[in-house]
Amino acid sequence: MIGLYQPGTSLLHRLAAGWKLLAMGLAIVGIVLLQAPWQLGVAALAVVGGFALARIPARVTWSQLWPMRWFLLFIAVFQVIFTGWERALMTCGTLLLTVAIAALITLTTRVTEMLDVCQRLLGPLRRFGVDPDRAGLVLALTIRCIPLMVEIVGAVSQARKARGAGFSLRALVVPSVVRALRRADAIGDALTARGVDD
């Protein structure tokens, strides 16, 4: 779900990260406030236009949104049963478009640029004991660890299939948690060796 930067020379690629993050926030707020399906359709066209403007390949866009399918299906069924199809459409459409907007920003913005913006925004809080550099490091680790967790779960799932084991939630979760904890220990040791805890 966290997009990997796609190099390019489009207007979105050249736009400063701060402006893109501001636009993302405003766009997401605007989408959340939509009231009618036709408004959601207009917003969807605008988001598609953004991907086209950035010249992001369709397969890359699809890879960002496809993992949401089961979550959206669950939400849609729940909403249809309890609130009706129109509310289900608005809820699922809003979720899908907000994720698409976030993906568009991460696909057209280097992580280092986003971290620089966050550090500058947190700069004035230094007088209150906030360390912008440490906060930026935490954000960078968070961004990096999400795809690492996806990689770990994928590796465990493939190993389970290779052994011919049937689906078992415990057989998936336990090895994934153990591997994640080992990776966290390794990252902690690496940070300590570089004096981050000093």
CA atoms of 19 and 35, how far apart (whole Å): 26
Contact 37, 80 (CB under 8 A): no
pLDDT given at position 44: 95
Contact 99, 68 (CB under 8 A): yes
pLDDT, one tens digit for every residue, the chain (198 residues): 444 788 888 999 999 988 998 898 899 999 999 989 999 999 999 999 999 999 999 888 888 888 788 888 888 999 999 988 999 999 999 999 998 998 898 889 887 888 788 888 888 878 888 777 777 777 767 766 666 776 787 788 788 777 776 666 677 777 888 888 888 788 777 767 766 555
Contacts of 178 (CB under 8 A, 6+ apart): none
pLDDT given at position 92: 92
pLDDT given at position 53: 93
CA atoms of 83 and 142, how far apart (whole Å): 35
Contact 59, 6 (CB under 8 A): no
pLDDT given at position 186: 81
CA atoms of 101 and 47, how far apart (whole Å): 7
Residue 6's closest CA among 114, 116, 139, 104?
Answer: 104
Residue 157's closest CA among 144, 174, 136?
Answer: 174
Tokens coding 43: 């917003």
For the CA atoms of 80, 84, 87, 90, what is the dihedral angle to 10 degrees?
60
Contact 10, 55 (CB under 8 A): yes
Residue 98's closest CA among 64, 143, 75?
Answer: 64
CA atoms of 24 and 32, how far apart (whole Å): 12
pLDDT given at position 26: 93
CB atoms closer than 10 angstroms to residue 184: 13
